[in-house]
Amino acid sequence: MTGTDRRQSEQRFHDEQAAHRAASFGSGAAHLAFDSEAYLDHETWVRPAFAALGNLRGARALDYGCGHGMAAVTMARAGAAVTAFDLSPGYVSECRARAAANGVRVECVTADGEELPFESASFDAVWGNAILHHLDLGRAGRELKRVLKPGGVAVFCEPWGGNPVLGFARRALPYPGKDRTPDERPLRRRDLRPLRDLFPAVDVRGYQLFGMVRRVWRNRRALALFDALDARLLRAVPALGNWCRYAVVVLRAG
């Protein structure tokens, strides 16, 4: 499949997903309102990943592959001047509507992460969730480096592919929220080589080692214990992050 075919397939998939979401919302804007604290805590990696963006007040921030737009709104609430883009016009429409429903200003555009329409050195901070693993990281990385200001930071939360047992579960076992595009694959360390060639600092931290069990089991007490165990183990032995469900990738521009 060529790059153009891949992008068209991705756009169709996510437009259909966005249309399904829009149909389920009903009328009015109340369904688009949300609490930033709940968003930051909906997965264990989101709050620490946001913290890696630093102080956003007065910063120019980019929501890279914005999807539903909750991250864009959260960054705007933190004081950033936010631009959000997605390959899917359907998701761009949702992001625009969500920003309006939550009373914040977000510039929303349809764009391709491998061919960004922004001027060089435009952004202090870039946020992305589950987006890099859809892209050619050589092309996307060069565009990221171009649009980041000197000293800027880009933070991405990505499904991670270092655990073969988890890989089997992703392929073979039924569980909620499993929809994915035909060409996407969780990232592995070797996939990050193009980014390491472009950025002077690339930090990767794993999240949800034992805590990944929440995908099939929601016992709060047990999950709290698993999360505490994960925190201790991953702090003591960071290499165990390769076996985690998700990773936070932090890129720092020179």
The rounded distance, in Å, linking the Cα atoms of 130 and 31 is 23
Query: What whole-number distance in Å separates Cα of residue 196 and Cα of residue 201?
Result: 7
25 vs 217, higher pLDDT: 217
Cα distances (Å, whole numbers) of residue 193 to 113, 126, 128: 18, 19, 18
For the stretch 104-130, pLDDT in tens is: 999 999 999 999 999 999 999 999 999
Residue 169 pLDDT > 90? no
Q: How confident is the model at residue 41 (pLDDT cuts 50, 70, 90)?
A: very high
Domain range summary for the chain, segments of one domain joined by +? 3-206+246-252
Contact present, 192 and 202 (Cβ < 8 Å): yes
Q: Identify the CA nearest to 83 among candidates 12, 54, 92.
A: 92
Q: Compute the average pLDDT of residues 52-77.
A: 98
pTM of the model: 0.93
| 3-206+246-252: CATH superfamily | Vaccinia Virus protein VP39 (3.40.50.150)
Distances (CA, A) of 254 to 117, 146, 189, 203: 22, 11, 21, 14
Neighbouring C-beta atoms of residue 253, cutoff 10 Å: 22
d(CA 23, CA 104): 24
Which pair of structure tokens corresponds to residue 90?
């359907």
> Distance (Å, rounded) from C-alpha 94 to C-alpha 131?
17
The pLDDT of 157-175, averaged and rounded, is 87
Query: What percentage of the chain exceeds 70 in pLDDT?
Result: 94
User: Which of 108-122, 129-143, 150-164, 169-183 is least confident?
Assistant: 169-183
Distance CA 101, CA 122 (A): 27
For 68-108, the pLDDT digits (tens) are 999 999 999 999 999 999 999 999 999 999 999 999 999 99
**Predicted local distance difference test score (pLDDT) of residue 235:** 96
pLDDT reading at 171 higher than 90: no
What is the pLDDT at residue 3? Answer: 61
